[in-house]
Homo-oligomer: A and B are copies of this chain.
Amino acid sequence: MPPSTASDNGKPSRREQILTAAAELFARHGFHGVGIDDIGAAVGISGPALYRHFRSKDAMLGEMLTSISERLLDGGQRRVDGATDPATALRELVRWHVDFALDDPALITVQMRNLANLTDPDRRRVRALQRRYVEVWVDTIRETVSGADEPAARAAAHAVFGLINSTPHNAHLDRGQMAALLGRMALAALTAAGARDDGTPPTPAPAVAPAAGQVS
C-alpha cells in the first residue's frame, strides 16, 4: 500500500511534513501569498519536488482542509456520544474545540480563512463536513440551553467558534490558563445565548467546570 496519510511508525511521513509546513505558511501569508518554492524550502527540498507527493498546490490545501474537518467532526461526535447528559456533552465539545485550537493554531487559522481558495469539489466536501460538525453543536446546544431556537443556536455556535478560534492572536497566556479562560467564556456565552430580551430568566448555567486541557 502506498503511504496515504501516515506510516504507522512514529516519524511523520514526508507528506505530513509538507502539509504542516504548508499550513504554517498558509496561515501566515494566505494561500495565494505562498509560493511552491516557499513550501519546498520550508521542508528542505526545493520547489517542484513537491509534485512527487501532491498533484497540485490546490490538492495540498484540499487534503489539509478535509483532514481538519474530519478530525474536528469525529472528535466532536465522539465526545458527545461518550457523554451521559447534554450539559456534559456541551462542556466536552467546548473542551475539545479549545484543545484543538490551542494545539493546532495554524490549522484552525487556515480552515477559517482559506475555504474560498478550494476547488469546487473540495469545497463541497469540506462544507459538508463543517455542516455536520455545526449540527452536532446545534443539537447539543438546543438540548442544553433553554429558549434557543434552531437559527439562534446555529448563530451561537458560529459565534463560539469565533471566540475559541481567536487563540492564534493570543500568545500571551500559557496554555493552561488560556484553555481555562476560553472554556469559561465559551460556556458563559452559550448559556447567555438562550436568555430572552423579555423578562424570562435564563438557564441557570451548567456549572463552570475546570474545562482546562491536560497541560502536558
Contact = CB atoms under 8 A, between A and B. Distances in A.
Interface string A99-134: 000000000000001101100000000000000000
Contacts of A164: 159, 162
A187 interface: yes
Contact of A162 (B154, B163, B181, B191): B163
Contacts of A185: 156, 159-160, 189-190, 192-193
Interface in A163-185: 163-166, 169-170, 172-173, 177-178, 180-182, 184-185
A30 B29 contact: no
Nearest to A34: B32
A10 interface: no
A81 interface: no
A75 B180 CA distance: 31
Contacts of A158: 166, 169-170
A197 interface: yes
B188 A192 contact: yes
Given A154-B172, A177-B152, A185-B189, A113 B30 contact: yes
A210 interface: yes
Interface of A: 28-33, 113-114, 116-117, 151-152, 154-156, 158-166, 169-170, 172-173, 177-178, 180-182, 184-193, 195, 197, 208, 210, 212
18 contacts: A28-B116, A30-B31, A30-B116, A32-B33, A33-B116, A151-B173, A152-B173, A154-B172, A158-B169, A158-B170, A159-B164, A159-B166, A162-B166, A184-B192, A185-B190, A188-B189, A192-B208, A195-B208
